[in-house]
Amino acid sequence: MNHLQRAEHDNLIETFGVIAAVQPDGVLRHDDGVVTIASRLPMSLFNQILIESETASPTAVGDAVALMRERGAPFALTLGQGLDDRFLAVAAGLGLVLDPHAGFPGMAVTPLPLPVPDPAGLDIRPVDSTTLADHASVVERGFGIDRAIIDAVVSEAIAADPRFAYYVGYVDGVAVVSGLGVKTGETMGVFNIATLEEARRRGYGAAITRRILTDGALLGCTVGTLQSSDMGRPVYEAIGFRTVVSYVGYVDPAQLGKGAHG
């Protein structure tokens, strides 16, 4: 991996690892170069097996898949194209199949972009204990994810972690856009960029992304990273993000077609 690929990958692992670890039956396991992130939430996005280092072994991947199957939640073996290709045959041998909807691009930007004025009327604020529910509500409506899952991953326990900083953007006092920054070393990861449907195409998602990166720069970060949806990619590219790795997801056949949200 090059520097930007490593920054993106480590931030991804640390972020989802924290989310899994705080769940009542969550598991975060580092074993022989393989990371198992198992939250038992009913979305493969929160139950992933990732390759952490070049020393990762097929045996460790097999053990991780066995654990995931035992737990019963949807999961994905997430591999970086061109980085983890040695595990393609391992995935096939374990009975996993490629799900074209389970992959996503890992993106990075450096140097961090300079601040620009926010769109008129948008008031971006860091979340506190009284506004965390506003963030959760925007993520729920913007992504269309079940509220029980949102409450598990947007919680006071996670918000108390000093690496995590939640944001909400308001227009006329109404929460319309959300964002999350996660600092790992000199990297600021960007997550939870969701905008209510009626407030889209006004630059709000880009604005809250820039705010997270600006605050990251003040904390000494030099790299910004994120994992994008197809809808969000043009927005992030306009900010300066570029794809540094393309992830593909291998799943059990019964899960095929459900993507990262199934």
What confidence tens digit (pLDDT) does each residue in 183-226 have?
Answer: 999 999 999 999 999 999 999 999 999 999 999 999 999 999 99
Number of domains, the chain: 2
In a domain, 241, yes or no: no
Spell out a b/e string for 36-58, using b for 16 or more CB atoms within 10 Å of the CB, else e.
bbbbbbbbbbbbbbbbbeeebeb
In a domain, 115, yes or no: no
pLDDT band at 259 (very low <50, low <70, confident <90, very high): low
SS3 255: helix
In a domain, 112, yes or no: no
For residue 217, give the DSSP letter: H
Tell me which residue range forms the domain holding 12. Answer: 3-104+246-261
Q: Read off the pLDDT of residues 83-94 as tens digits, 9 standing for 90 and up.
A: 999 999 999 999
Does the structure show a pLDDT above 60 at 137? yes
In a domain, 8, yes or no: yes
My answer on whether 130 and 47 are in the same domain is no
My answer on whether 25 and 85 are in the same domain is yes
My answer on whether 86 and 162 are in the same domain is no
Asked whether the beta carbons of 196 and 142 are under 8 A apart, the reply is yes
In a domain, 211, yes or no: yes
Does the structure show a pLDDT above 80 at 22? yes
